Amino acid sequence: MAKLYFRHGTVGSAKTLNLLAVAHKYDQQGKKVLLAKPALDDRFGQEWVRSRAGLERRADLLLDENSNFDSFDFDGVSCILVDEAQFLSASIVDAFRQLTRSLNIPVICYGLRTDFRTQAFEGSRRLLEISDTIEEIKTTCAYCNRKAIFNLKHCNGVATVAGPSVDLGAEEKYYPVCNECYHQQLEDAETHSEKETRDKAA
């Protein structure tokens, strides 16, 4: 039986670049691969899967919580690659799990493990629960040389945990960080906010 894979990493860990490289390898071997992504991710155009390195490829499947896989043609497909899998609903992850069983097609999902509050996304949580293989795509912290494990959000150049969990952005908004730098940056932001409040009251 084919497997369901979850390859997770922080922002800036080259997840999409890895996905596009895998797609290219299938192409070189003359095998059919399908690229899927959540419809809500329109940062580089809704229909495009694009890496920060500039490589891109048109998505074959745009997914939302109402997507019905019965309407898609998987004939001859050797592999399904899924970008930004953290934004999938649990039901769509379950549908991919079923595809690996019913059609014997491997599904490789790439995405973030947690949001900027260190809470698991719905899609990521389900992937962690039911994937056959879970792999970490590693990168270093933006502030030191330790391994990054969290995604730190910035607003106007200051670290924050404000805003909705799904808040699209790229390197101008999110930074890969280690545990120590994550908390240090938030503490520094709180100190900065308190100082601004005192200055305004003075």
Q: Which residue has the tokens 């399908």?
A: 34
Q: Which residue has the tokens 């649990």?
A: 90
Q: Are 40 and 63 in contact (CB under 8 A)?
A: no
Bridge partners (DSSP) listed for residue 165: none
Q: Are 22 and 30 in contact (CB under 8 A)?
A: no
Q: Which residue has the tokens 């200051």?
A: 158
Catalytic choice (47, 56, 65, 84): 84
- Tell me, yes or no, if 187 is annotated catalytic: no
Q: Which residue has the tokens 């930074």?
A: 175
Q: Are 78 and 31 in contact (CB under 8 A)?
A: yes
- 175: exposed, middle or buried (C-beta count within 10 Å: 0-12, 13-18, 19+)? buried
Which residues are known catalytic residues? 84
